[in-house]
Structure 1
Amino acid sequence: MASLGPMPRFGLIGGSGVQVKGEDSWTVETPWGKCILAALDSQRRVVFANRHFCTKVNEQGKADYAPPHEVNFKALIWALVVNSECTGVVALSSTGTLHPETIPVGSVVAANDYYMVNPQPVTFWGHEKIGSFEIPAGGVGRMHYSPANPQDEARLAWSSRVQTALHGVLAAVREKVKFAQGQTASSWPLIPQKETVYVNTVGPRFETRAEIRSYRGIGDIVGMTCGNEWILCEELQVPYFVICFCDNACNGLSTHPQGALQEYLESKAAIGEVTSAIVYQLVEELSKGAASGYADAAPSA
């Protein structure tokens, strides 16, 4: 295993559009399989995992692309939280908006709750030291807890830390970002006084119009990955903060005169610049000013 930097350390998860420059990467073995990680700062305090290019490792030790339904989320989260001892995780995700009238294409929002569509349980329970009401000495994890608890002190502290780290981003990219209804410069990317719900579908296909109509009564944005990561981080008692880039209106909801695809293409470049700025700023702040010349980003689910 690679020699990591001083504590605390933090995890950053990106999609296939977040590319890491340089050779500062390594492979870790977990009980669930291999995972490729990389350092985003010279101190190696910010540990990066590309969810689509980290757990499907070929015979040459290189990563193959894993679509959302094939990502090994257990290996990914275990590698960051247990192997790398990250005390907080930030995830970046490309999403579709279920309410383009209030959360427009081109906006960036942080979700604070999630809804899982997939029928299969996502859990470490039954295989690791997880599930007891009282965690024994040396044990890790939990099963009986309130997911996405808005009163969780560790979660609130991590959310505040990430928001503080992002304060310098908005001024630089304001012309590239649309605000969701109720969003302010001081609250961004959160929407104050709102429960912003991430609906996690199975993938890899997009949702049908009928599915989207039903999800509109449940949530605000749709993705295929972050709910899985969120659950596993919570089981391991590590706070998780997800930043969602709304680069498309969900199936049947686009009002763009040239259709949903053109709307997506027009928003993609601007969202990519915002993603790059966010990655750079997070690395700078979480590593306490260390050089961060490795990150180059564009949005991805």
Structure 2
Amino acid sequence: MESFKNVILTVIGGVGYDALSTEEARVCEVQTSYGTVSVSVLCAGENSDIAFISRHQGKHHVPPHKINFLALIDAARQISTPVLSVNSVGLMRNVLLVENFEMNEKLKQKTVASPESFLDFPFFIPNDFIDLTKNRIDTFHNEETIHTDMTDPYCMDIRSLLSGVLKDKSVSYSEGTYLCTEGPRFETKAEIRMYAHFADVVGMTGVPEVSLAKEAGLCYASLCTITNPAAGLSQNMVTADEVKVGVEKNQKTVFEIIFALAAVLKNRKNNGGRKICQCQNATVHGKL
């Protein structure tokens, strides 16, 4: 597609990371079989653009259980670049830090991100997920049986590059399992106690986005910002205002990570580097 010929990375973002309103952004529309998707394209350097797709498209904020994931992922497929999803999550239990770059000596001694100190270590890269959604269309294949390999649901290649960017920028982060609920309500304390046996963070937007991306053969990874402790893990009730505060606190760093990842992808492309994943082959042997 001519409008996206220089796009090196597609970002699917939620609150705080949706379609850019800056004058520099060029707004395009992508026609899909599932609806029209608005895409903002921002220059990231010479012959290098980043495409931003708003997850909650529309004049009003589309609630998580009503998001048109089929259209979003089909638009990303047409743009045909690696995809970075940005998700806001709640932390359900202590999770090991993969890297800790904090300068503060007290923080430097910590080995885990915990619900009590999530603001100190807010970045999380999922390497697996659990789907507890209820009413979402989660496949492009409704007319024939095509099984999709989900052994590594998030692209190993993009996850590796993303980890490298975080290390280069001295950003502390954790890895683990993402659990997706239907929403739009927050979870109960009892639910969080149960979910925490199986996963580390909880959100409402990561599924079926990740599985549809795998069906579409896209290299897809997620960067999560931990915006709050999950229900029952603090003295306060969980609120949308708390989530917004967490998003705003980390917004500048997230955009720096996005542009740095785009630069890494461009450099690899210019130097003939190869990806290490098999995302494009996820359905090759899945048809009965």
TM-score range, shorter chain: 0.7 to 0.9
234, 241, 244: which is aligned to 2:221?
241
Q: Distance in 2 between matches of 1:66 and 1:269?
A: 20
Distance 2:193 2:147 in 1: 32
Q: Quick one: which amino acid aligns to residue 88 of structure 2?
A: S
- From the superposition, tell whether residues 264 and 287 of structure 1 become closer, same or farther in structure 2 (CA, over 3 Å): same
Query: What does residue range 19-98 of structure 1 map to in structure 2 within 5 Å?
Result: 19=18, 20=20, 21-22=22-23, 23-41=25-43, 43=47, 45-53=49-57, 56=58, 63-81=59-77, 83-86=78-81, 88-98=82-92
Alignment of 1:250-265 (within 5 A): 250-254=230-234
* Contact persistence 1:112–1:148 (CA under 8 A): no
Is the CA contact 1:165–1:286 (under 8 Å) kept in the aligned structure 2? no
**Structure (1/2) with the larger strand percentage:** 2
* In structure 2, C-alpha distance between the alignment counterparts of 1:260 and 1:27, rounded to whole Å: 36
Q: Structure 2: which amino acid aligns with 1:65?
A: H
CA distance in structure 1 between the partners assigned to 2:50 and 2:251 by the alignment:
21
Contact 2:83 2:218 in 1 (8 A): yes
CA distance in 1, matches of 2:148, 2:244: 41
Equivalent residue for 2:141? 125
In structure 2, relative to structure 1, the CA distance for the partners of 1:286 and 1:39 (3 Å cut) is farther
Corresponding residue for residue 195 of structure 2: 215
In 2, the alpha carbon distance for the partners of 1:97 and 1:64 equals 27
Aligned AA (2:162):
V
Query: Relative to structure 1, is the Cα distance of residues 259 and 232 closer, same or farther in structure 2, using a 3 angstrom cutoff?
Result: closer
- C-alpha displacement at 1:281, in angstroms? 2.2
Equivalent pairs: percent with the same residue?
27
Q: Which has the higher contact order (CA 8 A, sep 6+)?
A: 1
Deviations 1:154-212 (A, max 9, x none): x3222222333444332xxx5xxxx5xxxxxxxxx454xxxx11101011111111211
Whether the 8 Å contact between 2:9 and 2:262 is mirrored in structure 1 is: no
SS in 1 for 2:72: helix
Unpaired segments ≥5 residues, structure 1: 57-62, 132-142, 180-188, 290-301
Counterpart position of 1:185:
none
Quote the offset at 1:44 in angstroms. Answer: 5.4
- Deviation, structure 1 residue 263: 6.9
Cα deviation code 1:77-109 (max 9, x no counterpart): 00011x2122x2111111000115743312211
Deviation at 1:2, TM superposition (A): 5.2
Q: How many residues align?
A: 240
1:267 Cα deviation from its structure 2 partner = 4.5
- Tell me: CA distance 1:52–1:44, structure 2 relative to 1, closer, same or farther (3 Å): farther
- Mapped contact 1:2–1:26 kept (Cα < 8 A): no
Distance 2:183 2:151 in 1: 22
Residues in 1 aligned to 2:88 and 2:151: alpha-carbon distance in whole angstroms: 20
Higher mean C-alpha displacement, 88-97 vs 16-25 = 16-25
Do structure 1's residue 169 and structure 2's residue 169 form an aligned pair?
yes
- Partner of 1:17, secondary structure, is coil
Partners in 2 of 1:206 and 1:27 — Cα distance?
Answer: 32
Question: In the alignment, which of 274, 282, 290 is matched to residue 261 of structure 2?
Answer: 282
Contact 2:36 2:71 in 1 (8 A): yes
Q: What is the CA RMSD across the aligned residues, in angstroms?
A: 2.9
The letter of the residue matching 2:80 is E
TM-score, normalised to structure 2, is 0.73
Residue 236 of structure 1 and its aligned partner are, at CA, apart by 1.3
Post-superposition Cα deviations, 1:28-56, rounded to whole Å, max 9, x if no partner, equal: 11011111112132535422101012xx4
Equivalent residue number for residue 107 of structure 2: none
Q: 1:273 to 1:259 in 2, by over 3 A?
A: farther
Distance in 2 (alpha carbons) for counterparts of 1:97 and 1:84: 33
Per-residue CA deviation, residues 216-241 of structure 1 (Å, 9 max, x unaligned), is 11211001011211010111122211
**Aligned-partner Cα distance in 1 for 2:75–2:244:** 34
